Structure 1
């Protein structure tokens, strides 16, 4: 649903969510909402009573509103107990079409699940001049580094197609254990699939669907800094590849051993993974674009946090 079709202005950088009523028979609008969307935070009865549910004309619906198949309803999501992320977003570049940010660790890219206000997109959209910002690609919440946003909705597709065509150079850095005998550089190829019911990825037998070029940058005792250049963009690819090689990234809460996602974040121990560089030929004006993160990764034996 285009945010431009929404009849409500954003609230604190958050755009309203939309529900389209299916062509079914229900005794009332409230009965449908309470059964089908019981997971949504906050009482639907209280929302209706407070005028916090709107029709497609931007008019609040009454508490006794009837169920009308095909009707579009608008509401604002809420998340209870969202933990503030104490790190700022740095702007690396901005023009009429592109916005390039240096994302901190622990900040989700877009709203979803238990993350709403503490996301890159919501923080950006609090600035009225960035109300149309939309992500061109994404990084894991735990990963820091270079991320691209489009400010011109008409140009977004052209930039996204660059990623789909693998026409974007992406370089990451990671700190992980040093493994003697692991031949580097190496092109690691494997088949990744999501672990049933576990959210994490695992390598399985079959035709490879992911590949990463791995280089050793430097070693410090039992730890090493690696340069990672993914040729594909599978979910958690870099984390899963290094874990499969026996060198899981420092401070990774999910690899090689999965930890419940609801566990509290330890801001003093960020995942040692950084999206260092992105480069591509701009599909609109043909200019060569290259953006580098200004952040650094902390070694596990250092007290300093990632800055």
Structure 2
């Protein structure tokens, strides 16, 4: 695939930061319109982009741009990376359901949250080398990038790191999206122990998490407990069911995580399309088109992803 020059990538990064400032201003001054554009036009593009090539987003993400400004020197060891990834997963599981009782309708609250996360990215960059403190650690989007980006359909090189400084000692998605999940699990990837790792729990719970979110409704702040309870129940059911299938069937980690990823993506567009159509007054054929496109993308991606997983499996006798 032809890719833009570094100059164009740099321009896109600057534009991304400027658009984030515009977004924050819009959330404070014209929240209804800005929220509609964000949640029903911009965000729905990202899951498909992660599946095509996570570098598409990581090359231009404004939070990554801020994170790379810091110049810190600490590296992210493999041991610390496990805890950091757990923080990112918790943030994701806290922030996404909060859309239902806060962020979907309260622009100023979302603006403050975006500024807080941006400040965290800046601070992490000042303390840790390159992407070690935020992008490859506690970013709440990282688990989704890692899950969807296991077998990119497009070859898009990362442009942020001119040379690798080993800021992240293992599982760097920018070095190899295909190896990132396996490296996240470490030695547990070859048995069933991966099920009990932070990322394993996330992957198995995520399809249910998507269903749980889309089967709740927007409401006042007082509904927070009901929202978290509902999403948590669906996530727990997904974790229990898929975890049991994995343990009983001894399903390899790289197979199950790919199945979880593609299932979550199809569910996202299946449930999300009607809401997008309603906001923009689009005809029913739009919903059919989005769902059909998601299924087609899954049918193209999944066989390739499973072939890639098969190539990375250990010998049968080596599995624990």
Per the TM superposition, whether the score is higher than 0.5 is no
With the length of structure 1 as denominator, give the TM-score of the two structures. 0.25
TM-score (structure 2 length as normaliser): 0.24
Greater Rg over alpha carbons, structure: 1
- Write 1 or 2 for the structure with the bigger share of strand: 1
Structure holding more helix per residue:
2
Higher relative contact order (CA 8 A, sep 6+): 2
